[in-house]
Chain A
Amino acid sequence: MAKIVVDPITRIEGHLRIQAEVTGGRITDAWSSSTMFRGIEKILKGRDPRDAWYFTQRFCGVCTTVHSIASIRAVENALNIHVPMNAELIRNLIIGIQAVQDHVIHFYHLHALDWVDVVSALKADPAKTAALAASLSDWPLNSPTYFKSVQDKLGAFVKKGRLGPFGNAYWGHPAYRLPPEANLMATAHYLEALDWQREVIRIHAILGSKNPHPQTFLVGGMAIPIDPNSQNALNAEKIAEIGELLKKAKEFVEKVYIPDLLAVASFYKEWAGIGGGVGNYLSCGEYPLDNSGRPEKLWFPQGIILNKDLSRVYPIDQKKITESVAHSWYEGGDAGVHPWDEQTEARYTGPRPPYDMIDTTGKYSWVKSPRYDGTSMETGPLATILVAYAAGHKGAKGAVDMVLGKLGVGPEALFSTLGRTAARGVETLLVAQELPKWLDMLVANIAGGDLAIHNGEKWDPATWPREAKGYGWHNAPRGSLSHWIRIRDQKIENYQAVVPSTWNASPRDEKGQRGPYEAALVGTPMADPAKPLEILRTIHSFDPCLACAVHLVDPAGGELVNVKVL
């Protein structure tokens, strides 16, 4: 048995370490550990709840926006504020383009290099590459000249002998399977996607002032005014620009991302049988179609799937959510506690740096262990799509069946590393196709004379009850995110975030149940334990975001309060 450590796990957000045991060429056990902590939940205590979104936004600069959305929803829930429909729709546009852009970056810039051997692209025949690309879609850049120019650029770069970010990687690893032409196609699209993501996310700048970290969120609505007759507000010109960018977003997803995803996946079908994990899926749903705040009014449905059983979707009962710190570096008993009531403070018992191994029999991570009804749950695009698919969501059904059909596999293939990566593509496709409809709804509202963007009834803290508590869900690119707030005397008394990567990266709980990363790694074959490419494939299929995942809470009214760490 070999013990291996991968630290740092690169091409993720944040600081993650994986320790694993390998016997007979397979992973027999694994431990997921986060090695960075900031304490932002603690920093929030005593501050103005209307400021919280700006603080929590800094949980993460990759899934920028998502913690703002969850935060304003939590405060609005606590204070019973319903925002104007225009604000809901502007938020949907911001959330939707974030998901689309973020998923494409994940596929090309964070995940693709686990499957694509960039160096092998130098051996490709540009004409055959163009033929391959043209057989997949009618994207205008599918010419031999174009692929030749990319190859030349890459060749000149490699010839200089300084590979920069591509240096010292696993090129030539036996687990790479793509022919040189597919590698060249994907490398070209890696570079194209860099330009594309920069362009389409300008929607955030138009509606939110900038990206990363847009700055027009408000408790009660949005700070971007609407006025067709003003140059300082959302007007016809800006709406037209958003429309154009949405078109570009959709076209790239349909003609480049999805074809590439299917092409790459077709060479790695054995990964449809690897990396399944815990088999329970939680999705909070997303994209409100009215301003009622009711889960049944969400475009992506809310629900839970247990034991890979797609015949039944269970409703979410927020009271069943708990977090355990049995294996996390915090004070507290082993049993799980509901987010409103968590009483935790940092207590590091790990090794003093520098260290080689972390003892995983005790506490071993800054991530806590969220559980639903005592069970480990996976969240993320796979959960979103499975819940939608099982609930009969028309778009999800069509897109999933298309992907399964093209790959020639059944629905059971979804419960895997490959399924996770494919589901992310399906979610992207559905959202990219739906986004223009939300823009149309916004235009119809404005045309009807509705310019409201903020509900100011409860803006003044003097209008608030002395005590209030609330929570806000948001289906972020990495899955179900929830923020939990207690307000007292107009200030934050307690704040807690239960984050997608906390669900997924969680260490074992008090019952010894593995978290989703850990469970997914068990059984993974390893061609060369010294070059653990296969670990990266499965871990990256979850799209980890560790800055988001680490947090610390504190007893309501006690000395220490909720801390969020990034």
Chain B
Amino acid sequence: MPKSSDEREVIPRPSGASAWEERGISRRDFMKFCTATAAALALPVSLVPRIAEALEADGRPSVIWLEFQGCTGDSEALLRAANPTVGEIVLDVLSVDYHETIMAAAGHQAEEARLKTEKERSGKYIAVVEGAIPVKDGGIYCCVGGRSAVDIAREVCGGALATIAVGTCASFGGIPAAAPNPTGAVSVSEAVPGATVVNIPGCPLNTDNLVATIVHFITFGKLPAVDGKGRPLFAFGKRIHDNCERRAHFDAGQYVEQWGDQGHRKGYCLYKMGCKGPETFHNCPTQRYNEKTSWPVGAGHGCAGCSEPHFWDTMTPFYRRLPNVPGFGIEMTADKIGLGLAAGTAAAFGIHGVVSALRKGDESDEGKEG
């Protein structure tokens, strides 16, 4: 297909035919994807050619996608990927050798496919885990093919080059781990100590952040830099509040007071309706969802804090206003303020949250000085 002159200048053409064009993806679409990915990763445009180069190589990484105590919401989110689309991800970008929700094989033939990848690509494949892992009572609360989730996770993640925990359940335990955590649900990094894990929380995760993490990995040969909670800084480096399109109304003291009131219709700040944006680190305001169509605060409902550990306990009740929000600066990171505020919230609200917030606090020296 004809190329515009600026495309020719920017993109170094590989000597052979482009593997992507062979697969029926136009150069233009391909570059659109690379640029979108660079944007999601918050990388300078000058790196676009490097991303393109990495993806031209015909080395689709093998992926084993495991689902345990999840709701399949993160897999569904993947189905909404637009740049590239899920069809391209599954057929062209990755070799998804095991994913129960989409794979044609079933039963022992499905298990065989997974074992083959584990063996033949040992130490080279990427493990993706969706859902929490129950460890109470010998792992009986989640079994696949007669084996416990924790058993499978240790084998698969243990042999992987890297593990990506998709969604808040895999990243932090999520809803199954909410008080009183009936099944002893834990995160992947807790269930598989020693594995290299990057967490992409969100309930479900924003699929753009997953794609960006994978491309970062393919391009640079390593996982992106993360914060103290294992989250990539490119997506979780700033609070919702910092980039919120309604921030000016917060600063001006213009709030929604009742659902459907004039302030609600005019897009005023949702802080008084319980918005958790001031203490939630996530790139929703800039990345948005479903091809940048919208996001919760943009549509008119407060943020629920879904990318934060134990938000089910620390951010609830969802419609209760956060205490003492104003007053911290944009330069703070999640490690400095996140847990401190969350624990304070839990104490203020007094219920389930206290236990799990403190439990997490014991494990980390960071964040206590919120």
Contact = CB atoms under 8 A, between A and B. Distances in A.
A356 B107 CA distance: 12
A456 B259 contact: yes
A202 B100 contact: no
Interface stretch (B1-9, B134-142, B217-225): B134-142
A139 interface: no
Interface residues of B, number: 96
A233 to B, nearest CB: 5
Q: Tell me which of A37, A118, A348 has the highest count of chain B C-beta atoms within 10 A of its own C-beta.
A: A37
Nearest to A86: B260
B187 interface: no
Interface in A22-51: 35-40, 42-43, 46-48, 50-51
B102 interface: yes
A164 B301 contact: no
B80 interface: yes
Interface stretch (A224-232, A251-259, A390-398): A224-232
Contact of B76 (A43, A61, A170, A207): A61
B22 A156 contact: yes
Contacts of A11: 100-104, 106
Interface in B140-189: 140-148, 151, 174-176, 178-183, 185
B110 A168 contact: yes
B259 A60 contact: no
B100 A43 contact: no
B359 interface: no
A162 B113 CA distance: 11
Contacts of A449: none
Contacts of B134: 37-38
A8 B291 contact: no
Q: Is the interface of A mostly helix, strand, loop or mixed?
A: loop
B196 to A, nearest CB: 23
A205 B289 contact: yes
Contacts of B58: 160
Contact of B23 (A157, A230, A452, A459): A157
A166 B105 CA distance: 7
Contacts of B289: 205, 209-211
A556 interface: no
B143 A35 contact: yes
Contacts of A162: 60, 62, 95, 97
Nearest to B137: A348
B352 interface: yes
B82 interface: yes
A56 B62 CA distance: 34
A105 interface: yes
Given A223-B259, A353-B143, A195 B87 contact: yes
B151 A353 contact: yes
B103 A210 contact: no
Contacts of A552: 182
Interface in B56-80: 58, 60, 62, 68-77, 79-80
A402 interface: no
Nearest to A44: B178
Interface stretch (A123-131, A212-220, A305-313, A413-421): A212-220
Interface stretch (B44-52, B232-240, B264-272, B335-343): B264-272
A164 B126 CA distance: 13
Given A11-B102, A213-B204, A61 B175 contact: no
A239 interface: no
A474 interface: no
Interface stretch (B29-37, B315-323, B324-332, B361-369): B315-323
Contacts of A75: none
A127 B142 CA distance: 49
B260 A547 contact: no
Interface string B255-283: 00011100011110000000000000000
A165 B96 contact: yes
A499 interface: no
B265 A164 contact: no
B143 A15 contact: yes
Interface in A131-187: 149, 152-153, 156-157, 160, 162, 164-171
B175 A38 contact: yes
B94 interface: yes
A47 B176 CA distance: 15
Interface in B7-55: 22-24
A54 interface: yes
Given A15-B143, A38-B183, A39-B183, A232 B107 contact: no
B193 interface: no
Interface of A: 5-15, 35-40, 42-43, 46-48, 50-51, 54-55, 58-62, 64, 105, 109-110, 113, 118, 149, 152-153, 156-157, 160, 162, 164-171, 191, 194-195, 197-198, 201-202, 204-213, 215-216, 218, 220-221, 223-227, 230-233, 346, 348, 350-356, 451-454, 456, 459, 531-532, 536, 547, 552, 563, 566
Given A37-B142, A39-B176, A61-B72, 10 more contacts: A11-B102, A35-B142, A37-B134, A43-B175, A43-B178, A61-B71, A164-B95, A212-B77, A212-B204, A547-B71
9 contacts: A58-B174, A62-B73, A170-B109, A198-B81, A198-B290, A209-B298, A213-B203, A216-B296, A233-B264
